[in-house]
Amino acid sequence: MSTRPGLRLTLFLLLAPAVLWLGLLIVLPHVEILILSFSERVAPRIYVFGFGNYLEFFTEPLYWRTFARTAIMSILVTALTLVLAFPIALYIARVAQGRLKAMLLLLCLLPFWVSELVRTLGWMMLLRETGVVSHGLQAIGLTGERIEFLYNDGAVILGLVYGGLLFMIVPLANALESLEPAVVEAGFDLGGSRWIVLRRIVVPHAMPGIVAGSIIVFMLTVGNFATPVLLGGKNGLWFTEQIYAQFITRFNWPQGAAFGMLLLLLSSAIVWAGLRLTGQSLGTTLKQA
Amino acid sequence: MAQSTDLDLINLVKRFGSHAAVNDVSFSVAPGEFFSILGPSGCGKTTLMRMIAGFEDPTSGDIRIRGRSMIGVPANKRPVNMVFQSLALFPMMSVGENVAYGLTCRGISRAEAEERANRMLERVGLKGFGERRVTALSGGQRQRVAIARCLVLEPTLVLLDEPLGALDLKLREHMKIELKQLQATFNTTFAYITHDQSEALVMSDRVAVMNQGRFEQVGSPRELYHHPATPFVASFVGETNRWQGEASAASGGTISVRLPSGAVIQGQGKVADRAMLAFVRPEAIALAQDPSALGGLPNRFEGRVSAVLFDGANSSLLIDTAGFEEPVRAVLPQAGPLAGIQVGAPVHVGWTADAMKVFAA
């Protein structure tokens, strides 16, 4: 009996970092933001409870259009990342052996040793009017004048796909690695073409990895700020910019809080829909990631 | 012209670097035959099978199925289907989808494929299992799904790569009989590879014994057992006593072998050489309490039981025998005057010259 208080104390101490982390850094701010989002300013420094901030979102087309654009572009980026990452992951998981496999994973990881901001600036140096690509095209005579590749949707998508690739490759490669080689051979042996084996055996097996990677990339993309701002410029129009503008430029914290909550709802809803659509459960998906 | 063989391998060679995994193998399999390739692990039998299936390309030689060369034909275009060692059922599909998979690959409509898959499942005794997950099946049922998945495609040849290896003993004994029956009902040619001599002997019409990339002998199970062509076959197929010695005299197929102890034993062989190997099956050794009962045998010795290895019908005796370095192994008599023989009991052993096969080592 005498050990029980000691045991409790140990348990408490062990749990404390996790509880503090979740409570102080995640739950508390979100509760604060939720409360803030329902307060309307009626006079300087006087706030009352109301839905005005949310109504503002639906009545001002710029807000909900940016919101919808962010959602659609993020889905597009996730899909593109998946299509690009799949063959890479397939190669890493099924073809590469030993040192080569480790090397390839390291190569995917390498860009993440520098900050996102620096990586994005790197893209800017390549794509801007006086940048490497523009100069290169002039040098080989494909164009007579400078070309601006920055500040359009293509540049934004490029940057976001680049940033998401690693987070798609790792869960995909994990999922593909567990596929028994004999199962693939059996698929061919029974008369399946490459396409049939891919569609009916490899992809269904990799589904938990596909969903896990897609969720991660989608979340990162929707919540990204630097890449759309730097590569998209004025045309970036990412919803995080609206949140930033409300909090920092307009100093309208309640409005920014409402946008923040809406973004959280959006990403949760799309993740939920994705899970339902593919018939995966969050549990198995998280294991894969 | 009607083709009289389903499978012909002609001087087939497969090298990995300088190592020849399959070294100049030729054989033919007749339609409807159950042909086994028996060999220890690493003898090249799996490589051989993977070349027939189309997963490996031979270095040289030809593989012909019903007379048509398979060189350059990809695995998914060959009239050959394989039952994998791990079975390799598709875990993402139901039992019915597993069996229908090959049919849909051929462009047969989903409805017809499903119907034919269900009929096949019925024939292998899995009626009504179509909707189940493959993970929900027992070992024997999974086995039958793996075979049904091949047979539904009506292949010229079914390859089986040690499919019974993962099963427990009782089920393995049962599946041996079931496989043989399935093969007989469908009258499909089976090529079966295994390292288990009992599987090969029980099921096959013909067995090829493979060692270090080559075929040592091809023949019926009885031929292999009773008339092994090489010392490897004699020792690999079935239990046997094995003695080393040198030839001391030879006449008309009978060779006398002098053991290191000086004892001389007589057996049958073709070549007399300085180093000889002699093999006698335990069941060919006659036992008697009284030496006069063994009077007519050319090989007669006196010994003492050193161990009784009881294993039901496979029980044996180890007998310390004068002149032999290792104990002689004989079948434990479980009826007659020697039934219930104990360790330490004196016993006389003997065997005919016919029962002993002698080879140059």
Mean pLDDT calculated for residue range B274-289: 90
Angle between helices A61-90 and A203-222 (to 10 degrees): 140
* Count of CB atoms situated within 10 Å of the CB of B126: 20
Mean pLDDT calculated for residue range A134-153: 81
Domain count, chain A: 1
Placement of tokens 């104390």 in the chain: A9
Q: Which of B153, B100, B145 is nearest to B126 (CA)?
A: B145
CA distance A247 to A237: 16
pLDDT at residue A84 greater than cutoff 90: yes
Dmax (CA) of chain A = 86
Mean pLDDT calculated for residue range B264-272: 85
Supply the DSSP string of B110-139, one letter for each residue: HHHHHHHHHHHHHHTT-TT-TTSBGGGS-H
Look at residue A200 in the predicted model and tell me its pLDDT: 93
In a domain, A107, yes or no: yes
pLDDT at residue A289 greater than cutoff 80: no
Q: Please list every residue in chain A whose beta carbon sits closer than 8 Å to the beta carbon of residue B77.
A: 191
Sequence-separated (6 or more) residues with CB below 8 Å from residue A171:
A209, A212, A213, A216, A288, A289
Cβ atoms A66, A246 nearer than 8 A = no
In a domain, A100, yes or no: yes
In a domain, A193, yes or no: yes
Alpha helices in chain A (DSSP H): 3-20, 28-37, 52-59, 61-90, 98-109, 116-127, 132-139, 153-177, 181-189, 194-197, 203-222, 226-232, 239-244, 253-278, 282-288
DSSP tag of B295: T
Look at residue A2 in the predicted model and tell me its pLDDT: 52
Domain B7-234 has CATH 3.90.25.10: no
Mean pLDDT calculated for residue range A27-43: 85
DSSP tag of A158: H
Type and span of the H or E element at B105: helix B95-105
Sequence-separated (6 or more) residues with CB below 8 Å from residue B100:
B110, B113, B114, B116, B117, B152
Sequence-separated (6 or more) residues with CB below 8 Å from residue B283:
B330, B331
Indicate the pLDDT class of residue B1, thresholds 50, 70 and 90: very low
In a domain, A17, yes or no: no
Indicate the pLDDT class of residue A288, thresholds 50, 70 and 90: low
Interface A-B, measured as beta-carbon pairs within 8 A, has a size of 65
Mean pLDDT calculated for residue range A4-21: 85
Mean pLDDT calculated for residue range A69-98: 92
* Closest residue on chain A to B152 (Cα): A190
**Whole-number percent of chain B with pLDDT over 70:** 99
Q: Which of B29-43, B90-104, B286-300 has the lowest mean pLDDT?
A: B286-300
Mean pLDDT calculated for residue range A59-82: 91
CA Rg value for chain B: 25
Supply the DSSP string of B177-237, one letter for each residue: HHHHHHHHHHT-EEEEEES-HHHHHHH-SEEEEEETTEEEEEE-HHHHHHS-SSHHHHHHS
* Closest residue on chain B to A196 (Cα): B105
Q: Do A204 and B92 touch (CB under 8 A)?
A: yes
Q: Interface pTM (ipTM) of the complex? A: 0.81
Count the alpha carbons within 13 Å of A41 in the hemisphere toward its beta carbon.
9
pLDDT at residue B320 greater than cutoff 50: yes
The nearest CA of chain B is from the CA of A284 a distance in Å of 15
In a domain, A79, yes or no: yes
Indicate the pLDDT class of residue A3, thresholds 50, 70 and 90: low
HEC per residue, B52-87: HHCCCCCCEEEEEECCEECCCCCHHHCCEEEEECCE
Look at residue B3 in the predicted model and tell me its pLDDT: 56
Q: Which CATH number does the domain housing residue A93 bear?
A: 1.10.3720.10
Look at residue A124 in the predicted model and tell me its pLDDT: 87
**β-strand pairing of B214-219 with B328-331:** unpaired
In a domain, A27, yes or no: no
pLDDT at residue A277 greater than cutoff 50: yes
Tell me the pLDDT tens digit for each residue of A250-264: 888 888 888 899 999
CA distance B137 to A29: 51
* Closest residue on chain B to A208 (Cα): B92
Look at residue A278 in the predicted model and tell me its pLDDT: 82
Indicate the pLDDT class of residue B251, thresholds 50, 70 and 90: confident
Q: Where are the domains of chain B?
A: 7-234, 239-360
Structure tokens at A229: 């701002």
Placement of tokens 């033919």 in the chain: B28
pLDDT at residue A139 greater than cutoff 90: no
Cross-chain CB nearest to B76 (options A182, A183, A191): A191
* Count of CB atoms situated within 10 Å of the CB of B220: 14
Structure tokens at B115: 């119907």
Tell me the pLDDT tens digit for each residue of A201-210: 999 999 989 9
What does each C-alpha distance from A46 to A6, A248, A251, B179, B209 come to in angstroms?
50, 20, 15, 85, 94
CA distance A105 to A103: 6
CA distance A133 to A126: 6
Q: Determine the structural domain holding residue A129 and report its residue range.
A: 60-288
Q: Do B88 and A180 touch (CB under 8 A)?
A: yes
DSSP tag of A247: I
pLDDT at residue A1 greater than cutoff 60: no
Mean pLDDT calculated for residue range B133-158: 90
The nearest CA of chain A is from the CA of B101 a distance in Å of 8
Give the mean pLDDT of chain B: 89
Fold classification of B239-360 (topology level): OB fold (Dihydrolipoamide Acetyltransferase, E2P) (2.40.50)
